[in-house]
Amino acid sequence: MTELAAVKTALKTQAVETPSWAYGNSGTRFKVFAQPGVPRTPQEKLDDAAQVNEYTGAAPTVALHIPWDKVDDYAALAKYAQERGLKLGTINSNTFQDDDYKLGSICHPDATVRRKALDHLFECVDIMDATGSKDLKLWFADGTNYPGQDDIRERQDRLAEGLALVYERLGDDQRMLLEYKFFEPAFYTTDVPDWGTAYAHCLKLGPKAQVVVDTGHHAPGTNIEFIVATLLRERKLGGFDFNSRFYADDDLMVGAADPFQLFRIMYEVIRGGGFTPGVAFMLDQCHNIEAKIPAIIRSVMNVQEATAKALLVDRTALAEAQRTGDVLAANAVLMDAYNTDVRPLLAQVRSEMGLDADPVAAYHRSGYAARIAAERVGGQQAGWGA
Ligand code: AOS
Ligand code: ZN
Ligand code: ZN
């Protein structure tokens, strides 16, 4: 196989999971903007996700969020997805929306609240059993706002205890993906603030526990690709929540704020052997002011563009420049790949897959947006504004 053929093959296999909540109305704590045609049910979210997959050919799974996507029959929902060429992906838990969780969930000082949070997490695993989902994504809003509010170490003990109980409940082919976030909604301490804390817990738990890197969950200037390289070396990178940030957890379209960073991340993924089914490429975004379906299509394309550039890095030339200490040549190899216009290559890949070369234009031509705007009245809020 020529090198270009190998790049094309890799691009044809890449799959990006889209989040159900990205199809719903969203906003900030200042305002949630309603858009015409927004889904009213989990099924309608899947209908929209099927559009993204139809035009990109690269978004075959959809992440659910419980309880935002609560239904009576999850096996039926999985069948509904299957009939539209989709599969249900990661199950995202929610232990942050009840009044009971004011002081935390599985780290809460009161055992009754911890039990309630655990029961929800067990319910999420039951849902995975019904849908065939392989991954449970855990993000905890737990933390404290004031020094002295609670004991930092005891909160870690409670976290470890809760995670261990959920871990035990996982089936052989199921994983738990632990997400970290350096602040918000807690501002003084966050119980899983960084990859080191997530890694330490996952290491103790065992091979079915891995870390999720949400690209928006780092302090400005953090070298995310270094984290990616490290987690891959340790076989602890479970997946990504892709999005973009300018300031905090902005949840903007992936690749919009810093496409160069996305390229650097994808390069480390490929370099570290992470371009395999094990590492989940998920989006975690909200489209507050832009049309949702084309924005999600655009996001998938942004991931593909960064991936294509990363695949084009001349690894032999890079290794040689690195070995001989030729700093400028090594940097130039990376920059050459990054500065390549990969849009014609991706258009070709799409044509070879029987897709339109321009997925956004194809979606606009389809008339789907006008149809859902006419048919759907009273679209659902994503559940949470961020
Ligand atoms: C929260 O900031 C995290 O990014 C979560 O992954 C996610 O946005 C939320 O829990 C929806 O599932
Ligand atoms: Zn996330
Ligand atoms: Zn987030």
pLDDT values of the chain reduced to their tens digit, one per residue, 386 residues:
679 999 999 999 999 999 999 999 999 999 999 999 999 999 999 999 999 999 999 999 999 999 999 999 999 999 999 999 999 999 999 999 999 999 999 999 999 999 999 999 999 999 999 999 999 999 999 999 999 999 999 999 999 999 999 999 999 999 999 999 999 999 999 999 999 999 999 999 999 999 999 999 999 999 999 999 999 999 999 999 999 999 999 999 999 999 999 999 999 999 999 998 889 999 999 999 999 999 999 999 999 999 999 999 999 999 999 999 999 999 999 999 999 999 999 999 999 999 999 999 999 999 999 999 999 986 666 664 43
Q: Is residue 199 part of a domain?
A: yes
Q: Is residue 383 part of a domain?
A: no
Residue 385 lies in a domain: no
In a domain, residue 382? The reply is no
Contact indicator for 376, 39 with CB cutoff of 8 Å: yes
Q: Is the ipTM of this complex over 0.90?
A: yes
- CA 214 to ligand 1: nearest atom: 4
Whether residue 384 lies inside any domain: the answer is no
If one counts every other C-beta atom within 10 angstroms of the C-beta of residue 234, the result is: 13
In the chain, how many domains are there? 1
Helix orientation angle between 368-375 and 359-366, rounded to the nearest 10 degrees: 50
Q: Which atom of ligand 1 lies closest to the CA of 137?
A: 6
DSSP letter for each residue of 326-347: -HHHHHHHHHHHHTS--HHHHH
d(CA 276, CA 173): 16
- Asked if 225 and 233 count as a contact pair (C-beta separation under 8 A), the reply is no
* Tokens read off for 238: 């479970």
Mutate to test the pocket of ligand 1, among 65, 137, 214 (most ligand atoms within 8 A of CB): 214
Ligand of minimum distance to the alpha carbon of 217? 3
Output the CA angle 313-317-323, nearest 5 degrees.
120
Q: What is the distance between the alpha carbons of residues 213 and 202, in angstroms, rounded to a whole number?
A: 13
Global confidence as pTM: 0.97
Structural domain harbouring 323: 3-375
Assigned domain for 381 exists:
no
CATH (domain of 92)? 3.20.20.150
Q: Is the CB of 142 under 6 A from ligand 1?
A: no
Does a structural domain hold residue 386? no
Q: Is residue 90 part of a domain?
A: yes
Protein residue closest via CA to atom 5 of ligand 1: 139
